[in-house]
Homo-oligomer: A and B are copies of this chain.
Amino acid sequence: MQVEGLSINLATIREQCGFGQAVDLCLKHGITRIAPWREQVAKVGLAEAVRIVKSNGLKLTGLCRGGFFPAENEAGWQRNLDDNRRAIDEAAALGADCLVLVVGGLPGSSKDIGAARQMVSDGIAAVSPHAEAAGMPLAIEPLHPMYAADRACVNTLAHALDMCEQLGENVGVAIDVYHVWWDPDLANQIARAGQMKRIFAHHICDWLVPTKDMLTDRGMMGDGVIDLKGIRRMIEKAGFLGAQEVEIFSAENWWKRPADEVIATCVERYHSCCQA
């Protein structure tokens, strides 16, 4: 039986499965939407990954990830832009709905977050013609403020949408509940994103209390405090009816369990905790 509306970000079972195994497992559970990471694709090779995707009728809700624009010097800057252009090409080859951008933090020993943010905007602008030519939408993923220094200096949906307004219609947002659930302006900004037609992806997991690690202690849907149904209602009301993509980094729990159990739990919790 197909599970409509559910996608699995393959980072969720990255410690247990390679690309091929992960796909087989998703298919076994009726899931035909996935979102791989570039490292996972690289391991089997892009051509083989494309073959697996096409031959199984899979659809990618996104490719993770481009971004990391800010650089300390001109050489680094050009390397970052080149890498983003390659990511765009890979996403296009795989037929992904979008390339997810984790935009990057402060370069080197910089304390100037305003300058880093400008580099992000300039970087996206620089690769946008390439993305448009490839027909590949770019999805800025605002990351939780706790990642502002080292992963992404775009930390609110409002800020991401301000950038989208300047960058044109091919640049939108990936809304990951983990990063934005706390935002007092969330409902307004989701509605605004809908009016702008810029919601390109919806990622889910849960915020655990306590959270024991800033990076690898995300929770399974239902095990934390996020109002997943409520946020999904906002997103659907804003016009995005695409799949919800489960992305769980969990070093001490889900990455240690059999992948089959993880995916079965994702399906079960999707049905019980996530639908609007």
Chain A residues engaging chain B, CB cutoff 8 angstroms: 106, 110-113, 117, 144-146, 148-150, 153, 155-156, 158-159, 181-184, 207, 209-211, 214, 224-227, 230
Contact = CB atoms under 8 A, between A and B. Distances in A.
B184 A117 contact: yes
A211 B147 CA distance: 10
A225 B106 contact: yes
Contact of A113 (B146, B155, B158, B227): B227
A111 B184 contact: no
A111 B226 contact: yes
Contacts of A183: 145, 155
Contacts of A149: 182, 207, 209, 224-225
15 contacts: A106-B225, A110-B225, A113-B181, A144-B146, A145-B182, A145-B183, A148-B181, A148-B182, A149-B182, A149-B209, A149-B224, A150-B209, A153-B182, A155-B182, A159-B184
Given A155-B182, A155-B183, 11 more contacts: A112-B227, A113-B182, A117-B184, A145-B146, A145-B182, A145-B183, A146-B211, A150-B210, A153-B182, A155-B184, A159-B184
A216 to B, nearest CB: 13
B145 A225 contact: no
Nearest to A145: B182
Nearest to A147: B182
Contacts of A210: 150
A158 B185 CA distance: 10
A190 to B, nearest CB: 14
A88 to B, nearest CB: 26
Nearest to A156: B184
A227 B106 CA distance: 12
A152 to B, nearest CB: 10
